[in-house]
Structures are given as structure tokens and as C-alpha cells.
Chains A and B, each alone.
Chain A
Amino acid sequence: MPTKTLKWFYVGIGLILVLVPIVWTVAGSFRTEADLFGHPAGLIPHQWTLHGYRGVWSQLPFLRLLGNSVLFAGITTALTVLFDSMCAYALARLNFRGRDVAFWLVLVTLMVPFQVTLIPVFVELFHLGWLNTYQGLIVPRATSAFGIFLFRQFFMSIPRELDEAARIDGAGHLRIYWRVILPLAKPAIATVALLNFTNLWNDLLWPLVVSSSPDMQTLPAGLALFGGQHVTDHAVLLAGAVISLLPIAVAFFLAQRYFVAGISTSGLK
């Protein structure tokens, strides 16, 4: 059928556009500079080299950076999921004065570009004595307006009869939230967790601003050092990109079943 051919043609072009750059990146991290310049039309290395990976390994305290990244992105994501879902529960399930105002305030924060608040936030962290500390790194990012928004939408799609049944059994709000709503919200949790984790993992500016100590540097911050001023070593830069991408890719392929299923059943409406 022509529509079917058309459909697969469209999807096929899209796939090529998406996959080729990714393959090129991975392959490029194994290519020599001469190979890159000599065969710009090539996708696969003509001669393989580990120069890029060796460069990254020898110049970075790699495990330390990795550990910091996991710590920062992991703890912050866990807190975000907890705080966002609690906040969303109140917004979706409780009736109280000021609910609309609270919801709008949350939405407004979604509209603030990070660069705008950078300097005031830095000064605040200073007054709190939180610069160069893990709480300074984690607490300000431990909630996200987008997550609250997503949870709220999801919770509203859960039939209210379920809460009422629980309430008849004498459950309070905390119990309903923890025992009824959250277990049903696994797909939303997966979605918010994955999106937050990738955002935090990829964040470069924030860790740099909060900590000046090399002991607290995260992976992207460490890798940014290779974007040096003078000579671009493509293999090292691409190797850095692949390395920082790898954990995300693993997390993504592990979580994607829940995630795709999650965002599908969440019925965002």
C-alpha cells in the first residue's frame, strides 16, 4: 500500500538521521586525526586507535569523577521523585485554599532560564555556607517543576474511587499517598526519574558553580577540560563524549521498557 511505503520511507529517513551521527561519534572516538581529515566521508575507522581513551584515562581522576556524578545525580533524583510526587499529590488530590496559586507558582519556575538566577543563587549558597558542599550541590536541584507537573497529570488520571475505598478503610492522606497512589505511579516515577537523572548527569554549569574543589567535580565538568583552547584533539573529545554517554545509555536501555510503557500509560492529558 502506498501509505505503508510512505510510512516506512519516512521512518527510515528519520532513523538514518538519528543513527548515523551516533555511530559517527562512537567510531570517531577510535579514529586518528589524519583519518578524520583524510576520509571525511568515512563512517568506520580506517586505522583504529585508542589514543582518545588513553588521553581521557591518563589525564583524569576518572573513578572519582564517576563516583561524584553517580552520587550527585543519584541522590538528587531520588529526592526529586519523593518531593515532586508529594507536592503533586497535594495539588491533584487535596482541596485547599491557595492550590491554584501554588500550582501557578510551580509553573512559573519552569519558565525561568537557569542563567538568569545563577548569580543570586550563588550568593545565597554563600550566605548559607553551602558552597563546596554536597548539600549545596544537591538540595537546590532536589525538585523540578516539570516533575511536579507530570506527577500531577498522572495522579489526576488515577480513579478517585481507589482513594475513597482506602479512606473508608480508615487510611489517612499519607497512607493513601504511600500505599495507593505511589504503587500505581511506577510508570510516572520511571519517567520523572529517568528525565531528571539524565538532566543532572549532563549538567555542566551547576556543579562547576557550586564547587570549586576538584574533589567534587563531576564527569562532564572534568571532561570539559578537554575542550581546551588551542589544539582540538577530536578523538579525545569524542572519547569523552562516548564515556559520559555510556552510563546514560545503559540506564536508558535498562529503564526504557518501564519508561516507554510508563509515559504511554500515564496518558498525559
Chain B
Amino acid sequence: MTKARPWLFMGPSLLILGVFVLWPIVQSLWYSLHDWTVGAAEQPWVGLGNYTKLVHDPQFQRALGNTLIITVASTAVLVAVGLGLALALTSENIVSRVIRSAFFFPTVISLTTVGMVWKFLLDPDIGLVGGVSRALGLGAVNWLQSTALALPTVIFVNVWKNAGFVMIVLVAGLKAIPGEYYEAAALDGARRLQLLRYVTLPALRPTMLFVTFIVTIQSLQLFDLVYVMTGGGPLFHTDTLVTKLYRDGFANYETGYAAATSWVLFIVVVLVSVFQLRIFRYNDAD
């Protein structure tokens, strides 16, 4: 009875996650070992064939590289920008509350809408960005069609969408820092920057790790935004692992090959997360 209780509490969630996430991911591993096609009468076993094919697939190498660039750059910029905003807007007065809401608003807009709106905004012919830069005599840049600029532009929009989320979580973390820490440091005559460095940031570390963890996972799985804005182009310069597996799986019907890509992605995500959570849980225990 008592032994069963925890499982009663967790039952619904674990059952749903087990049936609709964990078991399907195991099945996709099975697919990845076959030349698996939806609906085909035979699914020939290929062993690790799909994985060796991936290693030699230049599209895969490019997608993996892009995914890592997007993740590292987005996470770094997001945490920096979000921290700056959080520090600037900690106080509970009406002004900072309203401003915080404004920054948070992009978080609730769907990625497809964000992608579509920014695609329009950046369009050299109708977009505000091109219009303004032309009015200033700078000429219009075709952001999403330049092989050099497309990836940074995607990263920018990803930051635009998620900076408010990082900010809110960090504001929460800042508020949880006991006031005594600051009082003690003030008694020692610490200056503002010193306070930041020796009191705020160390106390904020668990929250920073949490938000880094969430943002990293989200960036590694980036799909909708890229799919809507560039479709992975130009010339695969913004192709991510998920846009690639989507193309292989749903446009070319190579389910087994797409499943192999997804397992590589899954392993990358798990490795990165385990690495981050190790640090995270270490602090958790305190």
C-alpha cells in the first residue's frame, strides 16, 4: 500500500510519457536499423548502414555543424541578453513590470508566426528592415538569401523570441537571493560591480544552469523557425538536424534514414544535458 503510493501519484504522467514518448523513441531506434519505409511490405535490415551513410553525407555534416552553431550562439547570446535585462528590471515597480511583460510577450507567440513575421520584415521588397535601410541610403540587404547572413539572422530571431523567457526566469532567481547576502557584502564595502561578481552571479548560478539547460535543448531541436523562414536554405546554410530529418522522413519517405538522424540528435541532446545536469544537480543537493 505505502509502496504503491508514489507510483499512484506518478502513474498518469509516467504512463503517458512511457507510451507516447519513450516507447516511440525505442521504436524509432528499430526503424533506424532498417531501410524502413512507411507502408512497405518489407523493411530490409541494414544494421548500422544508415549510420555509416550519415557519416559520409555532406548534408548531415552541414546540418550537425549548423545545429551546434545555432545552439552555442543562441544560448550564449540569450543568457547574456536575458541576464542584462533581468538585472535592469528586477524591481517590482509598475514600470519594470510592464516592460518585463513586453519582453516576455514574444515567448507566447507561436514559432511559425514569429518566423513568418520576421520573414516578411526582412524581405527586401516589402519588409520594414529593408525599407528603413533604403531610406537611410544603405540599400536593402537580402538577409535570408545570403549564404553568409542567413544563419546569424536565424539565430537573431531565435534570440528575439526567447530572450524574455530567460529574463523572467533570471528575475525569479534574482529575487530568491536572500537580502542578507547583499547587506553583508555592503558592510564589507563592496562596490556595485563587485557585488555583481561576488554575490549576485554565484547565488544565481543554479538558475543560470536551469535556464541554460532549457534553452540548449530548445535550440538543439530548432525546427519551426527555420522551416518557415528559410526551409534550411540557402544552399543548406541554415539546415538543422531536425529540418534534415524532416525532409528525409516526410518529403523523401526515408523513414529509417531519418530515424538514424534523430537518434544522433537524441544522443547529442542527452550528452549535453547530462553534462549540464551534473553541475546542476550538484548545486541542487546543497
Contacts and interface: CB of A to CB of B under 8 A. Distances in A.
Q: Is there any pair of Cβ atoms, one from A and one from B, under 8 angstroms apart in the complex?
A: yes
B126 A40 contact: yes
A268 B172 contact: yes
A86 B273 contact: no
Interface stretch (B3-11, B46-54, B146-154): B3-11
A248 B108 contact: yes
B6 A90 contact: yes
B60 interface: no
Contact of A260 (B20, B101, B127, B259): B101
Contacts of A86: 9-10, 12-13
A258 to B, nearest CB: 12
Given A28-B120, A39-B131, A260-B100, A109 B176 contact: no
Contacts of B84: 10
Interface stretch (A45-53, A54-62, A99-107, A160-168): A99-107
Nearest to B165: A195
A269 B206 contact: yes
Given A111-B270, A117-B25, A24 B117 contact: yes
How many A residues are at the interface, by size bracket?
A: 35 or more
B157 to A, nearest CB: 10
Interface string B261-286: 01001100110010001000001100
A116 B270 CA distance: 14
Given A40-B127, A115-B223, A87 B9 contact: yes
Given A111-B217, A117-B25, A202 B173 contact: no
Contacts of A114: 221
A220 B194 CA distance: 49
Contacts of A146: 214
B207 interface: yes
Interface string B216-231: 0100010100000000
A11 B17 CA distance: 40
Contacts of A108: 22, 270
Contact of B265 (A113, A203, A241): A113
Contact of B128 (A40, A91, A106, A248): A40
B132 interface: yes
B248 to A, nearest CB: 11
A63 interface: no
Given A113-B265, A204-B110, A106 B105 contact: no
A237 interface: yes
A136 B12 CA distance: 15
Contacts of B14: 87, 102, 105-106
Contact of B101 (A22, A25, A256): A256
Nearest to A173: B5
B273 A111 contact: yes
Interface in A1-40: 3, 7-8, 10-11, 14-15, 17-22, 24-25, 28, 36-37, 39-40
A114 to B, nearest CB: 8
A9 B135 CA distance: 24
Nearest to B273: A111
Given A142-B12, A248-B109, A252-B105, A112 B172 contact: no
B121 interface: yes
A24 B121 contact: yes
Given A10-B85, A99-B6, A269-B284, 17 more contacts: A10-B88, A20-B128, A21-B118, A43-B128, A90-B10, A94-B6, A94-B9, A110-B217, A113-B223, A113-B265, A116-B25, A120-B31, A143-B16, A237-B116, A245-B109, A249-B105, A267-B175
Interface of B: 3, 5-7, 9-10, 12-14, 16-25, 27-28, 31, 38, 81, 84-85, 88-89, 97, 99-113, 116-118, 120-121, 125-128, 130-132, 134-135, 160, 163-164, 168-169, 171-173, 175-176, 192, 206-207, 210, 214, 217, 221, 223, 242, 245-246, 249, 255, 259, 262, 265-266, 269-270, 273, 277, 283-284
28 contacts: A14-B85, A15-B99, A18-B164, A24-B121, A41-B128, A41-B132, A42-B128, A42-B131, A86-B12, A87-B12, A90-B6, A90-B7, A90-B9, A105-B22, A111-B217, A111-B273, A113-B223, A113-B262, A115-B262, A120-B23, A120-B27, A142-B16, A204-B110, A234-B120, A238-B117, A260-B97, A263-B168, A268-B173
Task: List the 5 closest A-B pairs by CB distance, nearest first.
Answer: A40-B131, A202-B110, A41-B131, A267-B176, A120-B24
Interface of A: 3, 7-8, 10-11, 14-15, 17-22, 24-25, 28, 36-37, 39-43, 82-84, 86-87, 89-91, 94, 96, 99, 102, 105-117, 119-121, 124, 139-140, 142-143, 145-146, 148, 153, 173, 177, 194, 198, 201-204, 220, 224, 227, 234, 237-238, 241, 244-245, 248-249, 252-253, 256, 260, 263-269
